Amino acid sequence: MEKKIRVGVAGYGVIGQRLADGVALQGDMELVGVADVMPTLSVRALKEKGMPYRLFAASVEGKAALEGAGIPISGMLEDLVQQVDIMLDATSAGIGAKNKLLYEKYGKHAIFQGGEKNDVANVFFHGYANFEKGLGVDFLKLTSCNTTGLIRAVDCIDRAVGVEKVAITIIRRVADPGDYHRGLTNALQIDKAPSHQALDLMTIMPHVEATGILIHTPVTHGHIITVVLTPKQDISVKDALEIFEKHPRIRVVSIGEGFLGNASLFRYARDLGNPRGDMYEIAVWSDSVVKSGRDLMFAINIPQESVVIPENIDAIRSSMKMQLTRETGTAETNKYLRIGTWKKTV
């Protein structure tokens, strides 16, 4: 039996706790432990669940705070790093860059999240769009939640018929559920164009011309992105839907089924019994796929708390050369996370 890849998670917050759960499901990986700096609600919940994952303190001050809250720890972040093959860094923006010095000290691979600056890593990574570019690379950086879902949809069409350009409008949730730092709002706020998601897409898919606008909205359960896409080969709405249907990480839904918006998808995930109401797939509304000349327009839902988890697992597989192609790497991730299995039951 091949040795499992040993994985650690730095930062046990919105993304970190989901990364830990995702790694724990992988049959060819071992979750060594997680690290955090304070007894946050996520960490307190970890204790109440019986400490299914070993917890390491990310700082001396954090160690005192965690112990003061009666939360058992297994050592310091530096101890965790020494015990793993690769780290998933899900800390706050800027902290990952500091942690990189520790990873370099012990010669460990690491995956960083979308909030870090691009220069923290050797490759800006997406599991479906450029899996092979990450092979054996020490440091990879993931795209943001919106960019991750957007690239899934654009790459899906691009591999089928080619894509010349895209124009996007992102209707962005203002904060995660349970957050208060953005305040209580009753307004929409527009960002200066072009949005970073369009620029990031071009970084990973340089052959596609992209631009976009982002609008903050006073909601918490998911983003919605409208996409106007110019394919290189003229295709029908039916063709586009068939292409989307074949992608394991894309759900095709409709208003007629009751999927009226982002909240409907969040509720559906909870009704499925998914932990925390998470959904790994993006959704494409079939009702939204229309044509204007050769251009296709469609709308997708981005479950911001969980959508990047599969691509993080892909990144481990690529960086550690567990699989050598996008097809085999993403298929293994999908298998252990049970992504796409629902397509066989509908």
Nearest to 254, CA basis, from 225, 300, 286, 279 = 286
DSSP H or E segment with residue 225? strand 223-231
Q: Are 295 and 228 in contact (CB under 8 A)?
A: yes
The question of whether 145 is a catalytic residue gets the answer yes
Q: Three-state SS string across 9-78, please? A: EECCCHHHHHHHHHHHCCCCEEEEEEEECCCCHHHHHHHHCCCCCCEEECCHHHHHHHHHCCCCCCCEHH
Which of left, alpha, beta for 51 (phi over 0: left; psi -120 to 50: alpha)?
left
Q: Which residues line the annotated binding site?
A: 36
| Other CB atoms within 10 A of residue 343 CB | 15
Residue with the two structure tokens 């965690």: 66
- Name the active-site residue from 34, 87, 145, 337: 145
Q: Of 322, 2, 15, which Cα lies nearest the Cα of 142?
A: 15
**SS3 track for 138-172:** CEEEECCHHHHHHHHHHHHHHHHHCEEEEEEEEEE
* Distance of alpha carbon 67 from alpha carbon 245, whole angstroms: 49
**CB count, 10 Å around CB of 4?**
14
The binding site for NAD(+) consists of 36
What residues are labeled active site? 145
